[in-house]
Amino acid sequence: MGRIFDRPLTRQLIGLAVLLTVWQLAANAGWLNPLYMPSPLKIWAALVQLFGSGSIWPHLAATFTAALGGLAIGVIVGVILGAAAAILPVIAELLEPVMILLNAVPRVVLAPLFVIWLGIGLASKVALSFILVAVLIFFTVYTGIRQVDRKLVERVITLGGGRGTLLREVYMPSVTAWVLGNLKVAVGFAFTGAVVGEFVAATKGLGYLLSFAQSTYNAALMLALVLVIMVFVLLIFAISEWLEKRLTRWRG
């Protein structure tokens, strides 16, 4: 019986339960202004309402579409540009300053611009997700290729390998490993892009619901939404971690 308390998870869960109880009791006692800090049960009720009525699904679908779309296009474009810059110095000269500038500012400042350019629909959210992810992947691939283990390259050459073999046996697996290593960060970025984009201007999505909750001073809904976003991002984290483990089993 004492065994179970030795595990960190058990202690963390107990801590959480204590926090929620104290929070609920403080709310019941009237110490917390319900307008700012709704009780855990109120937040739970908002969650039940969201899922029970089914009203959350179109918003979740919108956010996921924008995030995963931006993620996919961002990874593809980032890999292509990063590889091109690593192989052709001319492209590196042209792209590096742009990427450094894009990397220097918080890229979410582009959100209003994308709304002007692409409207308040899905496209502006995908674009924001895309730009967040593409810059990250560009640098991953660009610096990665230039740091490929020279010894591996030389070994493959002395075994009789040419350019094609180097690409297939050394560069592609290396690039895949780096991209997968950064996949979790990229997923986080993609969701940030989608939610912030929706927050700025949209008719659907979790970000839109957040902005709606803010304008109606509905703190319970807001906290419920934050919780939903956390759970779904953690879910995607788990999937990308599984994918990374599976595809880079050689790394152990």
Residue 114 to residue 122: CA distance in whole angstroms:
11
Tell me how far, at minimum, the Cβ of 164 lies from other proteins, in Å.
10
Whose Cβ is closer to other proteins: residue 93's or residue 154's?
154
Place of tokens 């040419």: 162
Please report, as ranges, the residues that interact with other proteins according to CB under 8 A: 149, 151-152, 154-161, 165, 169-170, 173, 177, 248-252
Residue 92 to residue 95: CA distance in whole angstroms:
5
Whose Cβ is closer to other proteins: residue 80's or residue 148's?
148
Name the residue among 216, 207, 63, 38 with its Cα closest to residue 126: 63
DSSP H helical segments within the chain, as ranges? 8-28, 40-52, 57-87, 89-104, 111-118, 122-146, 150-158, 163-166, 172-181, 183-200, 206-215, 219-247
Whose Cβ is closer to other proteins: residue 40's or residue 161's?
161
Tell me how far, at minimum, the Cβ of 165 lies from other proteins, in Å.
6
Tell me how far, at minimum, the Cβ of 166 lies from other proteins, in Å.
11
Tell me how far, at minimum, the Cβ of 181 lies from other proteins, in Å.
13
Whose Cβ is closer to other proteins: residue 71's or residue 145's?
145
